[in-house]
Amino acid sequence: MARSRALLDLSTRLMNVCLAALCRGGSLDRAEAVLVDAIRLGLPPDVVTYNTLLAAHCRAAGLDAGLAVVHRMREAGVSPDAVTYNSLIAGAARRGLTMCALDLFDEMLRSGVAPDSWSYNALMHCLFRSGHPEDAYRVFADMVEKGVAPSATTYNTMLDGLFRAGHATNAYRMFRYLQRVGLPIGIVTYNTMINGLCRSGKVGYARMVLKELGRTEHAPNAITYTTIMKCCFRYARFDQGLETFLSLLEGGYISDAFPYTTVISALVKKGRMQEANAYCELMIQSGSTLDNACYNTLIHLRCQEGKLDDAFELLKIMEEGGLESDEYTFSILVNGLCKMGQIKAAEKQIWSMEMMGMESNVVAYNCLIDALCKSHEVDAAIKVLHSMKLKDDFTYTSLVHGLCKVGRYHMASKFLRICLREGNNVLASAKRAVISGLRSAGFKNDLRKVRSALYMARLLRS
């Protein structure tokens, strides 16, 4: 009896290994079929079986698919454990469903399943990414208080979160602290640091950390180089960025679409469409799964080439492939339509976006405002601006420039002051346009008000 029990356990373990391999390879259907066969043969699935399937479903189809697996496991008399909840929380985090993640964590506590460091990590990650650093810090404190030891992932998540919250200096200090006390530092830590330092404008520090990485036993990977590439493009080191890409390509180190999308969009921005097209071909041929970012990059290229029909054809292919257009897709299309002078169509695109219940898309609106200003329809642009829930530096820069171009300096100065009062800013060229316009028109009072508003804004920022 004991012997057959042990044999059954072994078989379940083998089945789990098999399921995990199928899930990893993306053959979810075959994994499900294996489970059906196993049950028919009298082989009982355990919590690991269901957790494996759950993680795969969650990743492929989202949180609801994961919850459906929980339902199935309960029906089979298997109780969810910490890994089950961790996968669900991670699934919620991936799709930015912060409230769901918090609810799942609560449910975990209520059902008496003790959270481990993974649970806390996933929750912290989710809170940082959704812009709630204070809550993330609280989760960390809670974790320490409960006696759950922070792992390497916890520290990496914290470093990334500090950068995202705008605390680059604190992140840097924490990194040095981890090194000093001998806490685990690996390639993920280095990549997080290099990316965070680059994005917060501390390129010198980024270079220093990169050099340090070269002296460790940790090998830089494709993620390290993609980060460096992006940093080069950002700081006008185009050739160096392209070289980085080429060395990745020639070395055969590219295993997904990330480096392609990075280099293609940089090329499109430079107007080097032939090379962009060549790398699109390579990306498609490479056999990497094309996700939203890839399609958006391809659509953007077509739009910038003025091939709107091709762009919409790509959109159709993307949607038929089961991908949903997102905020990037819409901004890219609205921008493309605007640049081709099809402002009415762009407005319609924004309408359909609103109908779909998409979050207010600042970028798409900004493109429309810019296009209206460029065709001297500033009053229409102002009307659009008033309908926007969220405005940013781009919104006001376009409008202020547009108003100056048609000589409406009083109105331009009014919007410049509103903008500064809201804590936004405009490009220096827009400020100069307002000031020189007011001066030439002799609007002394407006000039005084704008100067004082600019001075106040500078004080508040420093």
- The reply to whether 426 sits near DNA by the rule CB under 7 A is yes
Question: In the numeric block, which tokens belong to residue 167?
Answer: 């605390």
Which residue from 49, 98, 157, 200 is in contact with DNA, where contact means CB under 7 A?
157
Question: In the numeric block, which tokens belong to residue 432?
Answer: 């100069």
Which residue from 30, 202, 374, 410 is in contact with DNA, where contact means CB under 7 A?
374
- CB 167 within 8 Å of CB 134: no
Which DSSP letter does residue 200 get? T
> 165-224: which residues touch DNA (CB under 7 A)?
187-188, 191-192, 195, 221-224
Q: Provide CB contacts within 8 A for 76, sequence distance 6+.
A: 45, 50
Task: Give me the 84-123 binding string for DNA, x by CB under 7 A, dash otherwise.
Answer: --xx-xxx-xx-----------------------x--xx-
In whole angstroms, what is the distance from residue 230 CA to residue 228 CA?
Answer: 5
Stretch that binds DNA, among 132-140, 152-160, 200-208, 270-278 (CB under 7 A): 152-160
Q: Which is nearer to DNA, 37 or 96 (CB)?
A: 96
- CB 304 within 8 Å of CB 336: yes
| Cα-Cα-Cα-Cα dihedral sign, residues 33, 34, 40, 44 | negative
Helix (H) or strand (E) holding 310: helix 308-320
- The reply to whether 394 sits near DNA by the rule CB under 7 A is yes
- CB 150 within 8 Å of CB 143: yes
Q: Which is nearer to DNA, 277 or 292 (CB)?
A: 292
Which residue from 327, 340, 342, 358 is in contact with DNA, where contact means CB under 7 A?
327
Which residue from 16, 98, 261, 413 is in contact with DNA, where contact means CB under 7 A?
261
Give the shortest CB-23-to-DNA separation in angstroms: 11
Spell out the alpha helix ranges (H) of 182-307. Answer: 187-199, 203-215, 222-234, 238-251, 258-270, 273-285, 292-304
Which residue from 49, 200, 244, 265 is in contact with DNA, where contact means CB under 7 A?
265
Give the shortest CB-45-to-DNA separation in angstroms: 18
How many residues make up the chain in this entry? 462
Task: Report the chain's C-alpha Rg in angstroms.
Answer: 27
Q: Which is nearer to DNA, 187 or 203 (CB)?
A: 187
Q: Which is nearer to DNA, 15 or 58 (CB)?
A: 58
Give the shortest CB-6-to-DNA separation in angstroms: 26
Q: What single letter denotes the amino acid at residue 405?
A: K
Give the shortest CB-332-to-DNA separation in angstroms: 5
Q: Binders of DNA: how many residues, by CB under 7 A?
A: 72
In whole angstroms, what is the distance from residue 167 CA to residue 136 CA?
Answer: 14
Stretch that binds DNA, among 5-13, 81-89, 174-182, 442-450 (CB under 7 A): 81-89
- CB 160 within 8 Å of CB 128: yes
Which residue from 103, 107, 135, 256 is in contact with DNA, where contact means CB under 7 A?
256
What is the end-to-end Cα distance of the chain in Å, rounded? Answer: 76
Which residue from 38, 63, 232, 257 is in contact with DNA, where contact means CB under 7 A?
257
Which DSSP letter does residue 360 get? P
∠ CA 211-217-221, nearest 5°, is 70
Which residue from 31, 63, 364, 411 is in contact with DNA, where contact means CB under 7 A?
364
Which residue from 98, 296, 349, 413 is in contact with DNA, where contact means CB under 7 A?
296
Give the shortest CB-274-to-DNA separation in angstroms: 17
CA distances from 91 to 3, 102, 134, 138, 140 (A): 39, 12, 22, 21, 20
Question: In the numeric block, which tokens belong to residue 160?
Answer: 């990334």
- The reply to whether 156 sits near DNA by the rule CB under 7 A is yes
Which residue from 11, 130, 277, 292 is in contact with DNA, where contact means CB under 7 A?
292
Question: In the numeric block, which tokens belong to residue 354?
Answer: 């609103």
- The reply to whether 230 sits near DNA by the rule CB under 7 A is yes
Give the shortest CB-1-to-DNA separation in angstroms: 35
Which residue from 332, 412, 435, 438 is in contact with DNA, where contact means CB under 7 A?
332
Q: What single letter denotes the amino acid at residue 294?
A: C
Give the shortest CB-279-to-DNA separation in angstroms: 12
- The reply to whether 430 sits near DNA by the rule CB under 7 A is yes
Q: At what angle do helices 428-441 and 409-421 cross, to 10 degrees?
A: 140
Give the shortest CB-362-to-DNA separation in angstroms: 6
Q: By three-state DSSP, how is residue 253 classified?
A: coil
Give the shortest CB-186-to-DNA separation in angstroms: 7
Give the shortest CB-57-to-DNA separation in angstroms: 12
Task: Give me the 12-51 binding string for DNA, x by CB under 7 A, dash otherwise.
Answer: ----------------------------------------
